[in-house]
Structure 1
Amino acid sequence: MRRETTRADWSTYACCLSACASLSALQVGSQFHSLLVRSGHIHNSFAGNALISAYAKCGRILEARQVFDEMICQDIVSWNALIDGYASNGHGTEAISVFREMEANNVRPDEVTFVGILSACSHAGLIDEGLEFFNSMTKEYSVKPVAEHYACMVDLLGRAGRLAEALELVKRMHIQPSAGVWGALLGACRLHKNHELARFAAEKLFLLEPHKTSNYVMLSNISAEAGKWDEAEKTRVSISEKGVHKPPGLAG
């Protein structure tokens, strides 16, 4: 494009930065940052938001914050990108600080905001804070929880070993639990070696994702770790019986 003297617009840069984020291509993303500055598109919110996400996904959260601070106008996507950046890099407390800063700037959080903040609390082990945010969604912000929010909460409670509470939350869901919800519960069961609940969660997963090998392998591993060798073998046999392909080298 540049050889043919075709001028790139902000949408071109935004698409390229999204690709850099997906590939964690920091050096290329930095080059596009320089091009944005030289072209004058750095002040476009779409390009700026893409740049925040690119830096965050490459683990460069300080650069992401600098881009955010230098933006002329931050919209809800900007705030969400920054919160998600802190969350994905393990900075739960900082993500909460950005949420409070967003509120102070009279920007109302949306569904995406809460996915980011709940994920931040989960990965940082901020149980009470996560519960507070989840409970405030409907009461204070009129944001109805969707499957992703429930999955974050099951992960939050599950990581802390509060499996009974996680299961109770799933049972109280106003929508059908997704594979992500049951997967979060199954992962927590393996972490805390709860074989019985793992079988329950796995059976739900098998109904939703009958051909996903990793679900069967995880249950087999949980059974083996619990000394339930017959059950572990039975699960492995079911992989072949159901025609589920097990990729070479998959642990189990």
Structure 2
Amino acid sequence: MDTSSLVIGGKTLRSRFFLGTGRYPNPYVQRQAIAASGAEVLTFAIRRVNLDSPEDDSILQHLEERPYTFLPNTSGARTAEEAVRLARLARASGLSDWIKVEISASEKTLLPDPIETLKATETLAREGFVVLPYTSDDPVLCKRLEEAGAAAVMPGGSPIGTGLGILNPYNLGLIVEDAGVPIIVDAGLGSAMDVAQAMELGAGGVLMNTPVAKAKDPVRMAEAMKLAIEAGRLSYLAGRIPKKRYASASSGSEEWVLN
């Protein structure tokens, strides 16, 4: 298996699993699920953190066992200006200079606003942030975000929290093929099958929260997703056989026959 690490913003990561910290039934299950996932990057909404005293925050105080990389997100922002302000506040508090740009155009669908996301990415990249924008699975937009300075691009498989999986694998394949930065599939995944598919398409990693936190057994699901990432990555590197319309025997007439 290719043991090469994922590198984002100059940081080398062993795990390709980015995990959200919200919606768990209690802090104990949260910690157990995070440990089972092997994730090194944890994400949370800036709006839910006490930036005046982040070390005492009710979310972050349970995550002191390991030196995680925090990826605060701008969930709830409606404009580029609002997302930029949140990112600046997070960095000024000492929380992180990594930022997941998340700007929703609609409260119903929570689909990302492409124009505002591109604006925020350009501004934050100029200011030295490690920017990971959440976006739609539009290959052209993903390339524009990379050109704007994104350290990684995070297209959704389907709308946030739906568990519908990857609705357009063709687009995701195009995005990966043309990318010069890691592609992290974010949003809409629901099962280990979805995760394996994302990795088999060449994604550098996946980000999720709800599929783990709201599973009947979050700890087991976290481990299942971790294994699916590893299996999908290995399958991608191994190279699958081409698809055919008709059957072909696994033992052809030209093969040696053992007596």
TM-score under structure 2 length normalisation: 0.31
The structure with more radius of gyration: 1
Higher strand fraction: Structure 1 or Structure 2? 2
TM-score under structure 1 length normalisation: 0.32
Q: Which has the higher contact order (CA 8 A, sep 6+)?
A: 2
